Amino acid sequence: MNSSFRFIRALKRQPVDSTPVWFMRQAGRYLPEYRAMRERVGGFLGMCQNPEIAAEITLQPLKRFPLDAAIIFSDILTIPDAMGLGLYFATHEGPHFQNPIRDAKAVAKLPIPCPEADLGYVMDAVRLTVKECGDKTPVIGFCGSPWTVATYMVEGQGSRTFSIIKAMMMNEPLVLKGLLQKVTQASCQYLEAQIQAGVEAVMVFDTWGGALSGAAYHEFSLHYMQEIVRYLKAKTLTQSIPIILFTKQGGQWLESIADTGCDAIGIDWTQDLANAKARVGRQVALQGNLDPTVLYARPDIIQREVQGVLANYGYGSGHIFNLGHGIFPDVNPEHVAAMIEAVKKYSPRYHQAEMIKDNAQNGTV
């Protein structure tokens, strides 16, 4: 691992010269070059499954902006697709599965995919991207949380109510836990393989954990993310790789998330960053949390809002600037540039004292 990367140092709560910045969905539809690529290739899944194209898309935002990390272009539903559920993307409707999981028999039949054999296109994309980034930029690998992935597997598509999987959770909890355990096992191996391929940090996206009650969240979502953390932290090859956990609308559970042993927590825009820092900032780094809709504002307003996020976290290390969720596809790329420029301009003052102290301790001043 290259510990000189600003992003990696911040994840480890080590001194940095400025707050590192990247953002969720930074390779995607808001970029005209991405839309042109999709038009040529003919579909999202086809781009994900072509390592050369996936690597090229991953690098597109880095060619535009001075970002501190790249996140591999892929999807959280690659694992269930490799399990044989028949993933497809309907026009303007998002992901669908031809073979949703509805009972114990279907769970029992699910195979655990081999990362290199069944998801090798992801590992090849990682290797190509890491080679291209070299010692300039770290690459982030990721997976969906077992709960979030399972919602699509059971519902068969995205849902607003999660009625089918919640009915399974209440009526047949052991069936759901069997499914979650299989997805967890596959996710552990998947992230391990991404690390072997060269990623220098990993992130678990729990998009739908906030749809659960507190007790259900701990039992059906956080428990399985903690299993992933324990698995990676127990292995010599992977134990030093920083792990970021992100539960959308999970601010009420920050202490429990920090107790998993993860290195950082993603904070959505509904949470107060200063409050989050006071609660868990001595235990983990924090990532976030600009409201994505701010990027619809004028550049001067974006600059003001960025300053607000930086001030809210305050002085010292352990902050990675990010959006509170993914970027919207109709955002002007120039507004993204304004956000990043503001982070680069205004964040160094929050690190100067710590850097002077660190340099003095290391005899560099």
Could you read off the pLDDT of 173-224 as tens digits, one per residue?
999 999 999 999 999 999 999 999 999 999 999 999 999 999 999 999 999 9
Residue 68 per-residue DSSP state: S
Per the annotation, the verdict on 38 as an active-site residue is yes
Catalytic pick from 17, 29, 88, 102? 29
Per the annotation, the verdict on 75 as an active-site residue is yes
Q: Name all contacts of 99-107 with Cβ < 8 Å and 24+ positions apart.
A: 100/153, 100/154, 100/155, 100/156, 101/150, 101/153, 101/154, 101/179, 102/154, 102/164, 102/168, 103/172, 103/175, 104/172, 104/174, 104/175, 104/178, 107/175, 107/178, 107/179, 107/182
CB-hemisphere CA count at 13 Å for 219? 13
Binding residues: 25-29, 75, 152, 207, 325
The residues that bridge with 288 in the sheet, in sequence order, are 321
Domain 6-361 has CATH 3.40.50.2300: no
Q: How far from the centroid of its chain's Cα atoms is residue 28's Cα?
A: 14
pLDDT on residue 89: 87
Per the annotation, the verdict on 29 as an active-site residue is yes
Residue ranges of the chain with per-residue pLDDT less than 70 = 1-3, 358, 360, 363-365
Q: Across the chain, which distance is largest between two alpha carbons, in Å?
A: 66
Catalytic pick from 152, 217, 313, 350? 152
Per the annotation, the verdict on 279 as an active-site residue is no
Binding residues for substrate: 25-29, 75, 152, 207, 325
Query: Can you give the pTM of this predicted structure?
Result: 0.96
Catalytic pick from 9, 13, 25, 127? 25
pLDDT on residue 363: 65
What is d(CA 186, CA 106) in angstroms, rounded to the nearest whole number? 16
What is d(CA 264, CA 247) in angstroms, rounded to the nearest whole number? 12
Q: Give counts: helices (H), strands (E), the chain.
A: 18, 9
